[in-house]
Amino acid sequence: MPGKRWAAPALLALTLPLLAPPVAAATVASVPAASDVPLEEVNTVTTQVAFGLRRPTAIAAPDDGTDRLFITEKRGTVRVYHPDTGLDATPIIDITASVDESGNERGLLGIALAPDFAESHDLYLAYTALPDGAVTLARYALDDAGLEPLLSQEHAENSNHNGGQITFGTDGNLYMSIGDGGGSGDPFDSGQRLDTLLGKIVRIDVSRSCGDLAYCVPQDNPFAGVEGAREEIWMYGGRNPWRFSIDPADGSMWIADVGQGRWEEINHVKPGRQAGANLGWSCYEGLEVFDETQCRSDAEYTEPVFTYSPHTGGCAVIGGQVYHGEEFADLVGGTYIATDYCSSTVWALREDGAGGYLQAEIGQTPTQVTAFGATPEGELYVVNDLPGGLHRVSFERAEPTCLIGHTTRAWGGGMTVDLTVTNTGTMPINGWTLRFPLPRGQSIVSDWNTDLTQSGDVVTAVNTGHNGSIAPGGSVTLGYLAEHTGDTSLPGRFSLNRDTCAVDR
């Protein structure tokens, strides 16, 4: 589902998810307290609950007391899952006659339920439309199978980067993401242009129409009344933000944007900074300048709060949600959960209370996850592309089996880091690989007691012949000499043989 760049399993075009349905004050007030369990002590577990989906792309959960999940399929169908009866064989919605599913990333991409769905039975669909793949938003009346297109953005040149995530915000408006038009390197310079909806998050009022439009533009949209700009734009500078979500506890937006090849990124944009926010593409990819010709000295760019290099097997970030369910609130309450389409790594991010973010790898999802969804109670599900399944997400506490101690000495433009790796598990480790990302601006010059390689920001340190065994309670030491450009901090996370390590800070 997410559009990517090298030969990897087929994906659909990654889009930005939209804001969650309106949340009543009572619901926000009932959000469980944030967990204080260290992220490195959390492990993700998934349980497959349905089989036989055909390239699922999105999940929506009606808050109507039925306990159903609606699951979109790329070809243009919507299937219903119920925990008691399983996956219905017959689709509840079939708009295949309207959907262009040519290419890997076109098709039915997003679904959002009207705030009054329990009464109106209206919902909204985002898809690439026949005959030319235009990214389209339509209202669908479930009672009479009526499909009413509302908004369309031409997208004929390339089949990738369509976006298509839709959701309602707590303000009652509908938000939709549209990719930059596809190809490689933003060939249309869409990200930083304001005269197109390509590379944008759109915000519109679909409860009424205005003039020739089948919707209205909210008066407080940042470019309403601005000559030469599309008034529907809420945010710009997106490349292929396949999934984003809004945290009902504080109204902040978490936006996962698929990168060009060097960086995957997650943005966390809080209320008051969302309208007109510039996510950077294609001036920036992650925190690095990608195309200087697209940069402006007077622009204010929103920096991502988390980036990772695909050099460990990743290819496309799949944005999730902040967990606000009750069942696992003690472990991951208030924690943002995301994954990657190719590596299946589960990323956990949590604000640290000092302006930064705690981060950890907390297990893996099934292969090729394309989307997260949540029940009205806040419990998480994921769907995966091939072979096409629905999985319930749960969490468990797992004590880390490794502990990293460290000593850092820095001077001028250089630094040395000595690491002590302790086996805190009950089984001996015979042969080890330690992986960690270097902070920005650091580059390794030499190493000791390890066979070390650096690819992008990712360091892979493998045991040498004399220190490959670590007994329970035992330790090995290794280290490296690095150049730096001012940041002499320790790597933010370590994993030993794919298990997350605790760090002695």
Cα distance between residue 282 and residue 293, in whole Å: 9
Cα distance between residue 285 and residue 358, in whole Å: 22
**Whether residue 162 has pLDDT greater than 90:** yes
Residue appearing with tokens 């009572």: 26
* Residue 3's pLDDT band (cuts 50, 70, 90): low
- Do 244 and 134 share a structural domain? yes
**Whether residue 434 has pLDDT greater than 70:** yes
Domain boundary among 397, 412, 435: 397
Q: What is the pLDDT of residues 129-155, one digit of tens each?
A: 999 999 999 999 999 999 999 999 999
**Whether residue 7 has pLDDT greater than 50:** no
- Do 477 and 359 share a structural domain? no
Residue 40, SS3? Answer: helix
Cα distance between residue 61 and residue 176, in whole Å: 18
**Whether residue 248 has pLDDT greater than 90:** no
Taking the whole predicted model, whether its pTM rises above 0.85 is answered as yes
- Do 332 and 195 share a structural domain? yes
Cα distance between residue 304 and residue 256, in whole Å: 9
Asked if the structure places residue 198 within a domain, the reply is yes
Q: What is the pLDDT of residues 50-71, one digit of tens each?
A: 999 999 999 999 999 999 999 9
Amino acid, single-letter form, for residue 332: V
* Residue 27's pLDDT band (cuts 50, 70, 90): very low
* Residue 251's pLDDT band (cuts 50, 70, 90): confident
- Do 494 and 369 share a structural domain? no
Q: Which domain holds residue 499?
A: 402-503
Q: CB-based contacts of 395: which residues, under 8 Å, 6+ apart?
A: 42, 43, 44, 45, 328, 331, 332, 362
And the tokens for 68?
């159903």
Amino acid, single-letter form, for residue 183: G
**Whether residue 12 has pLDDT greater than 80:** no
- Do 391 and 370 share a structural domain? yes
Domain boundary among 362, 397, 432: 397
Q: Walk across the sheet containing 389-397 and list its strands.
A: 42-50, 389-397, 380-384, 369-374
Ramachandran bin of 55, using left for φ above 0, alpha for ψ from -120 to 50, beta for the remaining angles: left
pLDDT computed for residue 1 by the predictor = 59
Asked if the structure places residue 332 within a domain, the reply is yes
pLDDT computed for residue 109 by the predictor = 98
Number of domains in the chain: 2
Ramachandran bin of 483, using left for φ above 0, alpha for ψ from -120 to 50, beta for the remaining angles: beta
List the single range of 31-45, 210-224, 432-446 with lowest mean pLDDT: 31-45
Mean pLDDT value of segment 19-32 = 43
Residue 41, SS3? Answer: helix
Identify the bridge partners of residue 479 per DSSP, sorted by sequence position: 418, 448
Q: What percent of the chain stands above pLDDT 70?
A: 94
And the tokens for 23?
């949340």
- Do 383 and 413 share a structural domain? no
**Whether residue 497 has pLDDT greater than 50:** yes
Asked if the structure places residue 355 within a domain, the reply is yes
**Whether residue 303 has pLDDT greater than 80:** yes
- Do 183 and 82 share a structural domain? yes
- Do 116 and 240 share a structural domain? yes
Q: Rounded to an integer, what is the distance from CA 78 to the centroid of its chain?
A: 22
- Do 418 and 297 share a structural domain? no
Residue 471, SS3? Answer: coil
Q: Assign residue 439 the CATH number of its domain.
A: 2.60.40.290
pLDDT computed for residue 311 by the predictor = 85
Q: Report, in this order, helix, strand and coil percent for the chain, each rounded to 5.
A: 5, 40, 55
- Is residue 327 within 8 Å of 379, Cβ to Cβ? yes
Please give the torsion angle defined by the CA atoms of residues 326, 330, 331 and 333, in that order, rounded to the nearest 10 degrees: 60
- Do 371 and 247 share a structural domain? yes
Cα distance between residue 179 and residue 161, in whole Å: 5
Question: Cα–Cα distances in Å, from 301 out to 193, 279, 283, 320, 397?
Answer: 14, 6, 9, 23, 38
Q: What is the pLDDT of residues 342-380, one digit of tens each?
A: 999 999 999 999 999 999 999 999 999 999 999 999 999
64 or 9, which is more confident = 64
Domain boundary among 342, 369, 397: 397
Q: What is the pLDDT of residues 375-412, one digit of tens each?
A: 999 999 999 998 999 999 999 999 999 999 999 999 99
- Do 428 and 353 share a structural domain? no
Asked if the structure places residue 8 within a domain, the reply is no
Asked if the structure places residue 3 within a domain, the reply is no
- Mean pLDDT across the chain, nearest whole number? 92
**Whether residue 9 has pLDDT greater than 90:** no
* Residue 298's pLDDT band (cuts 50, 70, 90): very high
Cα distance between residue 500 and residue 332, in whole Å: 16
Using the Cα atoms of residue 440, residue 8, residue 342 and residue 241 in order, give the sign of their dihedral. positive
pLDDT computed for residue 131 by the predictor = 96
Asked if the structure places residue 10 within a domain, the reply is no
Please give the torsion angle defined by the CA atoms of residues 299, 302, 306 and 312, in that order, rounded to the nearest 10 degrees: -40
Question: Cα–Cα distances in Å, from 252 out to 170, 173, 298, 353?
Answer: 11, 15, 25, 15
**Whether residue 211 has pLDDT greater than 90:** yes
Q: Within 10 Å of residue 197's Cβ, how many Cβ atoms?
A: 25
pLDDT computed for residue 30 by the predictor = 57
pLDDT computed for residue 246 by the predictor = 84
**Whether residue 26 has pLDDT greater than 80:** no
* Residue 447's pLDDT band (cuts 50, 70, 90): very high
* Residues, the chain: 505
Q: What DSSP element (H or E) covers 181?
A: none
Cα distance between residue 119 and residue 113, in whole Å: 11
- Is residue 80 within 8 Å of 61, Cβ to Cβ? no
Asked if the structure places residue 7 within a domain, the reply is no
pLDDT computed for residue 31 by the predictor = 63
And the tokens for 398?
């797992």
Q: What DSSP element (H or E) covers 82?
A: strand 77-82
Cα distance between residue 16 and residue 201, in whole Å: 7
Q: Residue 48, exposed/middle/buried by CB under 10 A (0-12, 13-18, 19+)?
A: exposed
Cα distance between residue 318 and residue 322, in whole Å: 13
Cα distance between residue 43 and residue 500, in whole Å: 9
The alpha helices in 100-206, defined as continuous H runs, are: 117-120
Q: Assign residue 259 the CATH number of its domain.
A: 2.120.10.30
DSSP states of 339-394 as a string?
A: EETTT-EEEEEEE-SSS-EEEEEEEE-STTEEEEEE-TT--EEEEETTTTEEEEEE
Mean pLDDT value of segment 478-489 = 96
- Do 440 and 337 share a structural domain? no
Longest dimension (CA), the chain: 76
Asked if the structure places residue 312 within a domain, the reply is yes
